[in-house]
Amino acid sequence: MKAKTIVRIVLILLLALILAVISYVAYVLIDYHRLPDWQRLEVVDNPSRVMDTETPYSILSWNIGFGAYSQDFSFFMDGGKHSRAYSEEEVLTNVSAVSDLVVREDPDLIVFQEVDVDATRSWHVNEAELLTSASAGCGYVEAVNYDSPYLMYPIFRPHGKSLSELLTVTSFSAESAGRRSLPVEDGFRKLIDLDRCYSVTDIPVANGRTLRLYNLHLSAYTSDGSIATDQLRQLISDMSQAYAAGNYAIAGGDFNKDLLGNSSEVFGVSGKDYSWSQAFPIELLPKNLTLQVPFDASSPVPSCRNCDIGYEPGVTFVLTVDGFLTTPNVRVSDCRVIDDSFLHSDHNPVSMTFTLKDD
């Protein structure tokens, strides 16, 4: 083959590659969108049970890590190896184990995060369907947290497209629900931060008031962690307004902030290299909101592990990022991390027992 022919072929292949890259970038930019603020959500299978005052109830929050995080799983965006769950069977095993634990705990309310309904990374398993089918007699609210374009990275095993939700399960009747859009980073970083939100479910109380239940998953993959603080400001404002109107408010989920403020000291592994693990800005909280941190000083259990490696006690960086915010008319008697040893998610579930005051 003549040299000119070889050069021509190389140039054609190079041009084709350039066009493919340009086309992909255009697709990602064009496909990127954000859902409207205060999108109305459906309460499915709404039960008839009414919430009362001065009665102990429990709520459980769990980021299930899209069903991928077996104990040895590491994630490429955290510096680990994998971009997808090992297999469909692994996803089914992990989500089934989540359901089993929740059934044993038997909470009155549940807020799940990172629940995939149709995603490459979780082998297109509808995890919301699995979780709700295990919650007999309960209603549920699904809020799309992000619907991302196909991520063509890593090259040989792309992360793909993700449709992921916040799932709220309630054993009480809910009168309405909505999706509140959160601020995200600007420029190209918004493609990593994706679309973020929290859901709001309004549950009538027997005394005529309403419990506003917030399900949240604040941003992690940002430039410096500050956007999660901006998101927190919005949540604080909304909860304060609900309380000012005479209602109860509880927010539960993954704050992507160190709720202890010193998890490195508590658990003995430094987190200085992880920009997302900033201390929760407790100074932002007004007097009408209390951070409920799931912590037992005599036997501390973390709620989250970093996923640059699989879980190795004493080696893997761990911290507590999952918890609750409550208004003063919510009396909390217990808040704890349930130690599942990160067997089926990169998060352990957290539980809170509370009573709505009648005053």
The confidence band for 65, taking pLDDT boundaries of 50, 70 and 90, is very high
Does residue 129 sit in helix, strand or coil? helix
| Cβ(47)–Cβ(170) below 8 Å | yes
For residue 196, CA distances in Å to 177, 255, 295, 314, 320 come to 17, 12, 27, 32, 21
Cα(231)–Cα(245) distance, rounded to whole angstroms? 22
- Give the HSE-up count for residue 157: Cα atoms under 13 Å, Cβ half-sphere: 12
Q: Is the pLDDT of residue 221 over 80?
A: no
Structure pTM?
0.93
pLDDT in tens, 129-184: 999 999 989 999 999 998 888 888 898 899 989 999 999 999 999 999 999 999 88
Query: Which of 324, 31, 346, 25 has its CA nearest to residue 163?
Result: 31
Q: Is the pLDDT of residue 267 over 70?
A: yes
Q: Is the pLDDT of residue 242 over 60?
A: yes
Q: Is the pLDDT of residue 11 over 60?
A: yes
The confidence band for 229, taking pLDDT boundaries of 50, 70 and 90, is confident
pLDDT in tens, 80-99: 999 999 999 999 999 999 99
Q: Is the pLDDT of residue 192 over 60?
A: no
Residue 24: its pLDDT value, please? 61
Q: How many C-beta atoms lie closer than 10 Å to residue 95's C-beta?
A: 27
| Cβ(271)–Cβ(317) below 8 Å | yes
Cα(66)–Cα(346) distance, rounded to whole angstroms? 10
Q: Is the pLDDT of residue 194 over 70?
A: no
Secondary structure of 203-250 as H, E, C letters: EEECCCCEEEEEEEECCCCCCCCHHHHHHHHHHHHHHHHHHHCCCEEE
Residue with tokens 């208004």: 327
| Cβ(83)–Cβ(157) below 8 Å | yes
Residue 275: its pLDDT value, please? 77
Phi-psi region of 314 (alpha: psi -120 to 50; beta: other; left: phi over 0): left
pLDDT in tens, 293-340: 999 999 999 999 999 999 999 999 999 999 999 999 999 999 999 999
Residue 25: its pLDDT value, please? 66
**Residue 171 gets which letter from DSSP?**
S
Q: Is the pLDDT of residue 285 over 80?
A: yes
The confidence band for 359, taking pLDDT boundaries of 50, 70 and 90, is confident
Residue 14: its pLDDT value, please? 82
Cα(81)–Cα(21) distance, rounded to whole angstroms? 24
Cα(152)–Cα(41) distance, rounded to whole angstroms? 31
pLDDT in tens, 25-51: 665 666 666 788 889 999 999 999 999
Q: What is the b/e burial string over 33-62, where b = at least 16 CB atoms within 10 angstroms of the residue's CB?
A: eeeeeeeebebeebeeeebeeeeebbbbbb
Class of domain 37-356: alpha beta
Average pLDDT, the chain: 92
| Cβ(285)–Cβ(225) below 8 Å | no
